[in-house]
Structure 1
């Protein structure tokens, strides 16, 4: 087959896939709209409630909850009759069953229509985008247009249906909280801009995350390579609780796994399992870790921002720069791109800035690192110290504001609103986090590690 024939076939396959995806989305949207209508109609017909009035910020229910906030006794007396009625009606839909059973068709219908009503009511009220990553409604999300917030309405609906008494209060309170978050974004005329599109939320589920960690590798090496496995288990049991109850199951699984090993020999002589090594390292050696950041933001914005320093003046813009502005490049990304860097970055290096000689492997059994597959990499923390010692988040933000003002003085530059502020604040928070983690590593003579995490589910 010719190259053009292959291309034509692939284009047809792509077009067919897009058509199928569009058809699935439109079908789901129809089911959501119809489900929301069925739920509202059933509630009105069976309980004589207009449930939209429950979440009306000017209505009695929201007003009564706001008045008695924090007073448990008053709350019991202050709940509106409509709220109590809806609670009673909602759980009457479960019938004579003890709890929600989504394998039961009637229960599934209640759950789906309830979730659809919550979702579509909020989407119509505030504006937003549906993200449907699969066929299971549990995975469906709404990302709002005016604030960067994503909700999982069907997960929320299931939680409400399983919690019993008080579910309606929780629903109304949460919906009102989100309304107030939107209200905070409004100007003096009661209007707010649509800032976020579907792509902002798709990124949350498709872009890997980067994270820095400071680890006591001296302790880890002794426990892994020298101490008998029994001693390692003692250390894991001692350190495990500091990770919190949500991680105790992992700690128990690690203990169970190495309990089958020879307790008198070091674990390093019995296995080279990378996953086990990493799990144990996080339990017994982790001192501090940064919040994960999308890897493209880290490479494109955070690391360059660290190298910019605090510029005293801004460069003139050439035609390519003006062209990028006209194409809509985010202004903070533009700032770190065009402002000369005080600290030289290695464009061919790790994360586009770090020379390869500053990297080592944490693994005894491999020289080749596959970071894209989750391998950790050790980075010399002293590489960052000159840059981070000078780093001042407030001053960098001030310099960015000055840069935005500078752009307005250039006659040929397009008149752009500051769409980079959120990105600037994200990068600045990430650098504060990195500075603290590097500081811990340098002060304690720890290893500074980087790892790539999969996108959130």
Structure 2
């Protein structure tokens, strides 16, 4: 694993700002600077009480800002001691999470501080730091013979953590809600048996290492749950597992997966722009960007107005918040969902009109238009061609999902990059499962 560039993933700006704000407020309240990086947390706690003016209130924004500032200080202590680092994570309240290079340990400093303040025991952060120190010591000297002999084990980087844990990829799926509900309302031991049986029926057969991974990550996770309750009744305990079972048992169609930014910035704007007959004038900056080698596709979505009105805000610039719902009411108890129901009525007419060949032809006309205005011949780059083809494929998949696949509703999945990479193997298991499902209650 490659070493990250210096400051490649610095402290999130809002965390840093909150830390500076809390430090200044503490100095004003106590009349002297408070060293948030070295002072024992038990000594800092009375000063925090002066800021809160009483018990810590988890739902009060001012108190949350204090917690965020302390989280920045707690994280910086761990960064200095263990070379920990922030990495982007959409599931985290801070928008980022702390990772460690020598073992897979994820920590939300904000969550840790919130819990400690809510219990009136900020010193619990000392205990948490000690637990991390102990876990890293065990990883460093207990589990790796090469390190015991003086060898160098590969260190994890922010990029590794982001790939494994940040759900930055999106996939639209068509979900048969009845099949999904049946699976979710089944007890986990029955689901474990069905999944294990499906692993033996896959065509083509799964490689042994892939089957072992499914056994370890899915079957054994199901077996660790309470066998007297349905899976959906335990969704708060295992939300990702419940969502995965809904996908495995209920998905009957869908698109490929792609980074969220690709959907938001390129794919869905193409749908709302349509195939205009003419294009707006170009300014000098846009022409210079083209002369410098900018790809026509991003210029197209930036310059050409939408032919169809898109929401001013909302999900992916395409869906109002009212278009979003639950795939099962039991998910209402889960905080951060990665599988949500989407009302496709807003985009269905646009998808019915979508023609990939006409869109490609429109992009070609736009490219010629810009090239003529810039006085520079258009040269097609392999990256630009691949980007356009990927966007058209995703929109074609979405059109088929919304207009042709019957018996389901549109849903949106969030995946990590690692999960997106394993989706092909997951589809093989899903096909085996749905080929002969016998859910054991």
**TM-score computed with the length of structure 1 as normaliser:** 0.48
Decide which structure has the larger Cα Rg and report it: 1
Select the structure with the greater relative contact order (CA < 8 A; seq sep ≥ 6).
Answer: 2
**TM-score computed with the length of structure 2 as normaliser:** 0.50
